[in-house]
Amino acid sequence: MDKLVLKSPAKINLFLEVLRKREDGYHQILSLIQAVDLCDELVLQKRETGVVISCDYPDCPTDESNLAFKAASLLLEGEKIEEGVSIHIKKKIPISAGLGGGSSNAAATLKGINRLYQLQLPDKKLYALACRIGSDVPFFLHSGQALIKERGEKIEPINMYGDYWLVLVCPHFEVSTRWAYQNVKISLTKTGKGVNFRDLENQSMFFKALRSFRNDLEEVVSKRYPVVQKIKELLKNSGALKSSMSGSGPTVYGVFDRKPQAEEVTKKLLRGDWFAESIGQIFLTQPIPGNT
């Protein structure tokens, strides 16, 4: 096998609580994450030596700062593979949007090189590499849905209702994840307890719990970028069962239980006078199961 094509999904944070800042500079979090079927496509191909990244989106970095580059380098060097790999990224997931595109690309790269070079590395080894690359990367090795703890490296698979639709509204600007975490207000009374993540397989229980979920980064991002709150209100007023920011933003999602309603809301937002100056992209998507 000399060439491999892989899908690399986005994610949303249905719940995100920032508990404390750790001594290593990262933050301890508790987050419920769901992968969705908005995907990048990665084309991996063997080459004689080195790692080469290319992308059809001009603002996507193709140097060492690209997480797929870092993933490929770590794996090839760690396994003493003298050959290299070229990775072409066909971008659909917006960059720095709170959807985990870069982390997903890195996880897909780890899995892809493992297959491309028939390394047969166990999940445990890929997981250890993923933890070195970025906080969201371990989740994307698992994908589907999971409860994420500590700085993102502790993953607890969870069964959850998934027959719903999402409208993702992505403003045209980017938000620095580091900036968002540096400026979030952390309550000293937070413990990560008291949130019910049980019985989420049931439709009514899932939607009931969903309405109580929150994102601790939303307040600080909304204060700097008021359009985030405006999008939330528009989605809610359009019938969304829940509207919230994903990750460090600025993407805002609305949850709908019916596809026709979600499609109509998408068309309505695209027709809005404020769309061109405030919004970059809008996506209609669904949750996906694990291990895709």
Residues with catalytic roles: 11, 136
Task: State residue 219 phi and psi, 5-degree precision.
Answer: -65, -45
Annotate 126-157 with DSSP letters as a single string. Answer: HHHHHHHH-TTHHHHHHBSEEEEEETTTEEEE
CA 115 to centroid of chain Cα atoms: 23
3-state secondary structure string, 13-49?
EEEEEEEEECCCCCEEEEEEEEEEEEEEEEEEEEECC
Which tokens in the block code for residue 24?
Answer: 């290593």
Instruction: Of 120, 95, 103, give the one whose Cα is nearest residue 172.
Output: 95
Angle at which helices 101-116 and 123-133 cross, to 10°: 140
Instruction: Of 283, 287, 69, give the one whose Cα is nearest residue 168.
Output: 283
The residues, ordered by sequence, that sit 6+ positions from 231 with a Cβ below 8 Å of its Cβ are 169, 171, 243, 252, 279
- Give the Cα separation of 91 and 105 in Å (integer): 10
- Give the Cα separation of 280 and 92 in Å (integer): 12
Residue linked to tokens 């609580």: 17
- Give the Cα separation of 126 and 72 in Å (integer): 11
- Give the Cα separation of 110 and 113 in Å (integer): 6
**Are 35 and 9 in contact, with CB atoms under 8 Å apart?**
yes
